[in-house]
Amino acid sequence: MRKAILYIRVSTDEQADKGYSLQHQEERLRKYCEMQNIEVTHVYKDDYSAKTFNRPEFTRLLNGLRKHRAKVDLLLFLKWDRFSRNTGDAYGMINTLTKLGVDPQAIEQPLDLNIPENKIMLAFYLAAPEVENDRRAMNVFAGMRRAKKEGRWMATAPKGYKNIHNEAGRPIIVPNKDAPLFIWVFEELEKGHLSAEEVRRQCNKKGLKCSKNNFYTQIRNPVYCGKIQIPAYKDEEAYVVKGIHEPLISEDLFERVQDVLNGRRKNKATYKTIERDELPLRGFLQCPRCGKNLTGSGSTGGSGVKSYYYHCCKGCKERVKAFTVNDKFIDLLKTLVFKKEVEVLYQEIIKEVFKANSDEKHFSQKELQEEIGKNRERLNNAQQMLLDKSISPEDYREMKSRYEPIIDRLARQHLDTGQTNTEFKKYLKKGLQLIKRIDQVYMKAPLPMKQRIIRSIFPEKLRFEENEVRTGKINRLITLISRFCKGYSLNKKGTEGLFALQSHQVIPLGLEPRTPTLKVLCSTN
């Protein structure tokens, strides 16, 4: 009596569409074995795709055959598409089974493979389901690509969104409870105060769990500004379309964040963020004994109250209370007084630079507006040619996909130029007010801002000696424009000592007759 192994495989869609249930297949195979007087030794059931042989139960079947050779004659299945839907892999597996002494057979499509002509039918039985799979995959791919071009998101919703179906039953994405947190992510990245990794860590602390790779993928995705990416396919280049979903952020904010990530805008987060508010000077202090950097940590005493200290971790015994050093540092900042004379000069510089900047930006805006107009006219001409049937719809879509991204990019540049003009004075004035009351700003500032203030004024390490915070090298510009040190003072005749700030370059007189020329040139080392 011959012995056989029964192999049963089904996928969810086949079970629903064709009735290929596991129970149905097993009944048919066992009934066949009874009629043919074949003994069934094992039954293996898979619910995996037949595109490859990387299936759990088939792997167990193959390992069993290799361990117990010559104990089984047949491997029976209902049809050849239950065995495989990949012609190349199927021929390789048939060869493997034949070497193990096992003859694979489909009871509803029987073939004697010892007859050469039957291999033609085998090729047909194997190729037909593969063709069916490929056609189905192409239809699904075309449908999803068409839906993307319509502005619909066709995958699992990104962070900050959730998948739902609209009234028409079509899948769409809408903001969920995490949307405000992801808006915060983009706003923090645009500021440049924190690195992307630090933003991700704080985001996780706030409750939005996101792995490093997934986070970097998400913040590069234009879906958050209402755009859908259409990947390149064959002769069609990649482009983006306007999505039908609600954007979380503006396109302008998204582009500024991409500039920060790509390095086109300098990210100011070049130092590691210290997470202890009680230790703002950690990383900025130098040990007065050994010259190494001081670190900081907390210590709980017998009273149960936690105290913080700056201390050396290189073997020496330097150790000082953090609140003492912090207070002394604030006292040091209070000695920084902005000179009234320099304030007048500063205002004059603002006026001249702003005037030159405004003239240049106005010219740049005019050029951008002209380019936008030209490309819009080209797109309108293409639309008219489509209406006149001078070009095909495919040609029009190609032109549209070419010019719309150019118009969007130029429009963003135009908007950035206008915003620069309106914000220029505001930021310079804000900087002046900040330096005039730097100690108050420092005390009220969050930890990252405190660190930026320290780095801006003191490029070298600080020392705490004889109950005072002592400085090394000070920012050259701070030295010149303040009473922080003696590098700026009045002379005996009362003349303002502004000459150190002025350039030694000769102002050009221009052509005859003389024209009024004012150039304020400030050079600092």
Residue-wise pLDDT for 257-295, tens only, equals 988 888 765 544 444 444 688 888 888 888 888 888 888
DSSP 222: G
The Cα–Cα gap between 73 and 1 comes to: 10
Q: Residue 70 — left, alpha, or beta (φ > 0 → left; ψ -120 to 50 → alpha)?
A: left
Q: What is the CA radius of gyration of the chain?
A: 37
Could you give the percent of the chain with pLDDT greater than 90?
Answer: 13
Residue at 501: amino acid letter = L
Long-range contacts of 514-522 (CB under 8 A, 24+ apart): 518/352, 519/352, 520/348, 520/349, 520/352, 520/353, 522/349
For the stretch 291-345, pLDDT in tens is 888 888 888 776 778 888 888 876 688 888 988 999 999 888 888 776 667 666 7
Residues 6+ apart with CB under 8 A from 379: 399, 400, 403, 404, 407
pTM for the model stands at 0.39
The pair of structure tokens assigned to 342 is 């320099």
3-state SS of 233-268? ECCECCEEEECCCCCCCCHHHHHHHHHHHHCCCCCC
The enclosing H or E element of 352 equals helix 340-387
Could you give the percent of the chain with pLDDT greater than 70?
Answer: 76
**Backbone phi and psi for residue 489, each to the nearest 5 degrees, phi listed first:** -160, 170
The Cα–Cα gap between 376 and 402 comes to: 12
The Cα–Cα gap between 519 and 352 comes to: 8
Whether residue 244 contacts residue 172, with contact meaning beta carbons closer than 8 Å, is answered with yes
For the stretch 455-485, pLDDT in tens is 888 888 888 888 888 887 777 767 766 665 4
Q: Which domains does the chain have, with CATH numbers?
A: 3-141 (3.40.50.1390), 161-262 (3.90.1750.20)
Q: How confident is the model at residue 418 (pLDDT cuts 50, 70, 90)?
A: low
Q: How confident is the model at residue 225 (pLDDT cuts 50, 70, 90)?
A: very high
Strand partners for 229: 240
Nearest to 452 by CA among 434, 470, 468, 469: 434
Other beta carbons within 10 angstroms of residue 315's beta carbon come to 8
Of the CA atoms within 13 Å of residue 368, those in its CB half-sphere come to: 19
For the stretch 40-56, pLDDT in tens is 999 999 888 888 888 89
For the stretch 116-171, pLDDT in tens is 888 888 888 888 877 887 888 888 888 888 888 888 888 888 888 999 988 878 88
Q: Where are the beta strands (DSSP E) in 14-55?
A: 39-46
Of the CA atoms within 13 Å of residue 422, those in its CB half-sphere come to: 6
Whole-Å CA distances, 361 to 356, 365, 416, 483, 522: 9, 6, 10, 36, 21
For residues 351-362, average pLDDT: 61
3-class SS at 173?
A: strand
Whether residue 171 contacts residue 152, with contact meaning beta carbons closer than 8 Å, is answered with yes
For the stretch 13-30, pLDDT in tens is 555 445 567 888 899 999
Residue 441 has pLDDT above 70, yes or no: yes
